[in-house]
Amino acid sequence: MALHLKMDERDDCDRLDAMAQKIIGTPIDRPEGALKVAGRARYALDMLPAGACHGVLVRATVAKGKLSSVDKDAVMALPGVRAVIADERLLRNPAQGMAGEAPVQGVSDVAYFGQLVALVVADSFEQARHGAQRLKLTLSSDPDVVVRPDDPAADLESPDDQKSEMGDLGRAMVDAAFSIDETYTTPPHASAAMEPHASIAEWSGEKLTLHGSYQMLPFNRSELADALGIDEGNVRILAPYVGGGFGSKLGISQEAVAAAIAAKELGVPVAVAMSRQQVFEGIMRRSETRQRIRLAAGEDGVLTGIGHEAWVSNLPDETFAEPVTQATPFLYQGAHRLIGQHIARVHRTCAGSVRAPGEAVGLTALEIAMDELAEISGIDPLELRLRNIPDKDPTEGIPFSSNKLSEALKVGAEKFGWSERSGTPGTRREGEWLVGMGMASAARVNMLIESKARVTLTGDGVARIESDMTDIGTGTYAVLSQIAGEMLGLPIDHVDVHLGDTDLPRGSGSGGSFGAASNGTAVFLACEDIRNQLCEKLGCDPESLTLKDGHAISGNQRLPFSEILQGTDLVGEGHVEPGKTEEAVRQATFGSYFAEVGVNAVTGETRLRRMLGVFSAGRILNEKTARSQCLGGMTFGIGMALLEELIHDDRDGHIVNRDLAEYHLPVNADVSGLEVVLLDERDGWANPLHAKGIGELGICGAAASIVNAIHNATGVRVRDLPATLDKVLEGLPPLS
């Protein structure tokens, strides 16, 4: 019988610390790493079977209108073309990857420029691409379409459930010794995962097998079945390796449904891969934001009021809205509060989750505003933040499960040399370069998602882990290996992990930084199940059992697993789901960033010289993969601060820079001197592992530290991100 845990109370056992193998937290390499660097890890499109056809999607070229006809006959006459599909079951926009949300279908209603509305299938990819390029669509265009979020004609929604108010912020602003009331903007962002969206669909009777590149297989299976109108028991999705997602692969996308429809119609496997341009146009963008932030403080810099209102956008009827203000309610104190959100309904590519939805952009603006408050109050930015860390969640009035923000700030300042920073902007010059330092706090909500896993301890002393959990480059294979190895007393090379198959127990999926802790807890519980079974065989108490190096030790006995099991297997199952601890305490992760930049006094170019991130996220399960995740998040922050910006044409909403040549991302030359410090922490409110999410924490506020460093270097305050040289150049001090 599976061990089932509902997280209703704090875990005080901390079982992992009592184990003997001592591999939890260590920086082990990824078990699948050798396959990846050798090119032998097989991704979605690598699974192409013999006799498969290829499909290429075709886009609409109006922002809003109707697709009235598709000229199939001319394309069907081309060599190798097998089918032209314009089926109403094709997805209008990708699913959001959240429970209970059905995919949006009906492609004859065009909702945005670049919407994928048809599929050409041929014997070869080249033939399919040629057919797609030749396919003529009859499209009508709505002349009254709204594509700009700031268009007065845009429908603007202000949901009541996104608004909260305490006290009287207006009065607090009037009475404040120091106050800030500024507007900050961030542009739309693209996930830009390395592996484009790709699927191979194959039917066997009524059963569909899909090789795809997806993050949340339990939901993706349901979404795909829903779109096709079949029972989800007839759908199997395989995604053992995923080449990045960053939120773009949370929900099932257009190519998967198109491949499945075509494969059913033709009776052969069909592979559909999106081009880079199609991914940019048809898959989720992060919404642009306009954020009004008001801060009120006394003479001592202690906040008395916080206002944070955000304007974002999405397609009509989409339920997702960028949760910009997600961390504002709990990060800093302040008795008077006003938090709200406004959603403009526009006809642009669907807005959805991009890495660290909410805090990535919300904390960026808030932390720039805090820097501005520090400047006008004459209080050091570090000291200002330290003075405003609350003892409990100031909005909900509940305690923090843990809060190491103060330690993260102090450790970061010490290691970075913050005391050497000049408080007067523009005073440090090295030739043509103006040099400055900036800092920011980091915070991210923590979540636990229902998960199941199965672990089998074989007669020859090998543990096999099974779950439909995915590894999107985050280190899931390594972390789950370590948990099982620790709990069962096995070296890493005696643990075999099988992931990314919906025939396996239903895991949490990868997203929201909850994967390792959620699915890891399920593996932990399955291993506890096996430990209990071993105790029954040995006739010992669980607390007196030690497992190490493939042996069970109890009393005076030390027996190898092979002798205990005698060729039989032990199977353990674990099942965890969230409970009362979600509401009893405020669960979050915290950290800090410190950045040093050089700004060229002639050109306005900014170069990051060094950057430090200090993070607190419960128990660190693997030091190497956790550090890698933080480095990736900080790199995202560099992009947000200096480079990244999806540009829409105001006439029809089409994306102008829809590939990696024109959408500027940080490259090696932009990423200099990054350092990560991971604080030691345990949080029993989170789960029995005492671990919390870390994948997205590394981006939340990172951009602000760089923008604040630019101000310290030059005196130029950038409130409209990214801080490209044209926004810096005009305000630079004259050359001496």
CB 248 within 8 A of CB 354: yes
The pairing of strands 137-141 and 285-286 is unpaired
The two tokens of residue 365 are 């603006």
Backbone angles phi, psi at 317, to 5 degrees: 75, -5
- State how far the Cα of 448 lies from the Cα of 504, in Å rounded to an integer: 20
Bridge partner list, 611: 595, 674
- State how far the Cα of 525 lies from the Cα of 16, in Å rounded to an integer: 12
Question: Catalytic residue numbers?
Answer: 696
- State how far the Cα of 243 lies from the Cα of 193, in Å rounded to an integer: 7
Angle between helices 476-488 and 515-538 (to 10 degrees): 20
Question: Count of residues for the chain?
Answer: 736
- State how far the Cα of 357 lies from the Cα of 345, in Å rounded to an integer: 19
- State how far the Cα of 246 lies from the Cα of 635, in Å rounded to an integer: 13
What are the Cα distances from residue 56, in Å, to 256, 259, 280, 330, 529? Answer: 12, 10, 15, 47, 48
Other CB atoms within 10 Å distance of the CB of residue 87: 15
What are the Cα distances from residue 58, in Å, to 119, 120, 121, 132? Answer: 6, 8, 11, 6
CB 723 within 8 A of CB 731: no
In the block, residue with structure tokens 């299976």: 221
Handedness of CA 537, 538, 542, 545 (dihedral sign): negative
**Buried b / exposed e across 414-451, counting CB within 10 Å, b at 16+?**
eebebeebeeebbebeeeebbbbbbbbbbbbbbbbbbb
**HEC-encoded secondary structure of 619-685:** CCCEHHHHHHHHHHHHHHHHHHHHCCCCCECCCCCCECCCCCCCCCCCCHHHCCCEEEEECCCCCCC
The two tokens of residue 538 are 């040995």
CB 255 within 8 A of CB 269: no
- State how far the Cα of 490 lies from the Cα of 463, in Å rounded to an integer: 8
The two tokens of residue 711 are 């101000």
CB 212 within 8 A of CB 219: no
- State how far the Cα of 60 lies from the Cα of 114, in Å rounded to an integer: 5
The pairing of strands 551-554 and 546-548 is antiparallel
Backbone angles phi, psi at 535, to 5 degrees: -60, -40
Run of H or E residues at 572:
strand 570-578
- State how far the Cα of 654 lies from the Cα of 592, in Å rounded to an integer: 37
Run of H or E residues at 265:
helix 254-266
Q: Which of 504, 518, 516, 577 is nearest to 239 (CA)?
A: 504
Backbone angles phi, psi at 127, to 5 degrees: -65, -40
- State how far the Cα of 249 lies from the Cα of 96, in Å rounded to an integer: 9
